Amino acid sequence: MKFAHEIQRRRTFAIISHPDAGKTTLTEKLLLFGGAIQVAGAVKSNKIKKHATSDFMEIERQRGISVATSVMTFAYHDTLINLLDTPGHKDFAEDTYRTLTAVDSVILVIDSVNGVEEQTRRLMEVCRMRDTPVIVFINKMDRDGKNRFDLLEEVEKELNIHLHPMTWPINSGKDFKGVYDLNRKSLVLFTPNTKASDADVVQINDLADPILDTRIGEADARILREDVELVDGVYGELQADEYLRGKVAPVFFGSAVNNFGVRELLETFVRIAPPPQDRDTSTRRMQVQEDKFSGFVFKIHANLDPKHRDRIAFLRVCSGRFERNKYYHHVRLDKDLRFSNPYSFMARQKDVIEEAYPGDVVGLFDTGNFKIGDTLTEGEDFYFTGIPSFSPELFKEVINKDPMKTKQLEKGILQLTDEGVAQLFTQFGGTKKIIGCVGELQFEVIQYRLLQEYGASAEFKTLPYYKACWITSKDAGKLQDFTRFKTNNIAEDKDGHLVYLAQSEWFLNTERQNNPDIEFHFTSEIHKGE
């Protein structure tokens, strides 16, 4: 096993949460501990004062939300951490779902005030589908929130996962005094608006020690002793294998904005989180220790640097060693490509790398060769499976407001839809361009980026469609007849595959009953490998 040491020292994970739960703030505090940044951005009331490190698109800085998955690599002791910060906003869920296919574990941030929210449930469902190991960070303990026991019960019930507290809070809101580390038997004291330091950690091996009463007061000491006795009785020791199988989630309490409770989270994560794992492909299970390189593209981003019209494909290395200037086989295109300037990331900052190992995320300059899901190998033909693709729920026609910028508009739409934030359809036999999205905010982002990055001015006209279905048939004549009779509802996707745009569920069901020889597909996975 050539690269055993490099594989074992890597951890690749995503931070996920509902919007405003404090995900980007937690990301920054982890980077501070890793020495990757010296000063954190402050995200307050949705106005960015110092821009958050991981929010690098202009529209993100203006609105104070993350709309693109950001990749950051940093070291903590001997561990190399690849952290993927994901969009919290539900309109960008598709980008987050795809990112979850590129990681080995997840940290889920929950707001102690609001508890489990809709987006948290949806994200957790994706983790459950793949049995991804999850660590929970309950944030904003310095605000008046829900009772700690009620919160744990709600998380377990709503997210259908067993929890295992690793730290335990002493009060909350203005009375928040800190946490007791159940694993290390130590008290970490909280002082508002100051960063937790080693001086705030008090070693207490026995909770009966009177020093506890001195430090937090007799009443709170009594409650903490009762709580810890109850928690120990219910939860016992953490079974690491249960966590790795995605059955149990360790829980930490803290306040990310005050950098409190983050160190305990990070040190446990480094200790128990899984290194890069084996992965399923279309032909066999790929072992992470294999000598030959393989990897897949899970994200594409145009214009990462506005000064250079660059386009970067984010590649997750799955096996072997990726080397700069070496030729690799692009399975879908059946051609060999070489990369002279592969990058590792620190949000917007890029560093050219000579090599990368399983778990690493590499940025590759893309001149239009890549689509999401593409696989690179050292010659073998297969695809990594399980990368989700969704049928859009909102459809709008692109209206060009400046005919002098038609070329720029077409180029912009092609590139932005290649990134996977939206899907592009062209009216069958016509030129009408239709964009399909999962959420309304995506149209705003596309409109903004078309203007800022391509100088193209566009409007969107809402279309009355309910669902996009890819259509195929073993009988070419039947397919031809259907497209001729239903011209107004037929479009082609970017690869020339036929799509039926249904006005409603009733229309869709009617067409399926009336046309038994035609298959209606809700994802474009059927065309994988064509």
Question: For residue 198, is pLDDT > 80?
Answer: no
Q: How confident is residue 59, by pLDDT bands cut at 50, 70 and 90? A: very low
Query: Quick one: pLDDT at residue 320?
Result: 94
Please write the tens of the pLDDT for every residue from 478-500.
Answer: 999 999 999 989 999 887 889 99
Query: Quick one: pLDDT at residue 27?
Result: 85
Backbone angles phi, psi at 456, to 5 degrees: -105, 135
The amino acid present at 8, given as its one-letter code, is Q
Give yes or no for a contact between 292 and 320, defined as CB atoms under 8 angstroms apart: yes
Q: How confident is residue 445, by pLDDT bands cut at 50, 70 and 90? A: confident
Query: Quick one: pLDDT at residue 53?
Result: 47
Q: Which two tokens stand for residue 223?
A: 């409650």
Q: Mean per-residue pLDDT for 365-370?
A: 83
Query: Quick one: pLDDT at residue 42?
Result: 33
Largest CA distance in the chain: 86
Query: Quick one: pLDDT at residue 71?
Result: 77
Q: How confident is residue 195, by pLDDT bands cut at 50, 70 and 90? A: low
Q: Which two tokens stand for residue 509?
A: 């069901």
Q: Mean per-residue pLDDT for 64-68?
A: 40
Give yes or no for a contact between 383 and 529, defined as CB atoms under 8 angstroms apart: yes
Pairing of strands 10-17, 79-85: parallel
Mean pLDDT lowest for which of 103-107, 136-140, 286-290, 441-445? 441-445
Q: How far is CA 206 from CA 98, 185, 202, 227, 506, in A?
A: 46, 8, 12, 14, 66
Closest CA to 435 of 395, 495, 390: 395
Cβ burial of 287 (10 Å; 0-12, 13-18, 19+) is middle
Q: Mean per-residue pLDDT for 73-101?
A: 75
Query: Quick one: pLDDT at residue 235?
Result: 87
% of residues, the chain, pLDDT over 70: 84
Q: Mean per-residue pLDDT for 291-317?
A: 78
Q: Which two tokens stand for residue 137?
A: 């960070």
Distance, first Cα to last Cα, the chain: 34
Q: Which two tokens stand for residue 503?
A: 């006005």
Q: Mean per-residue pLDDT for 121-150?
A: 88
Question: For residue 167, is pLDDT > 60?
Answer: yes
Closest CA to 315 of 3, 84, 11, 74: 84
Q: Which two tokens stand for residue 258?
A: 């005050």
Q: Mean per-residue pLDDT for 469-485?
A: 92
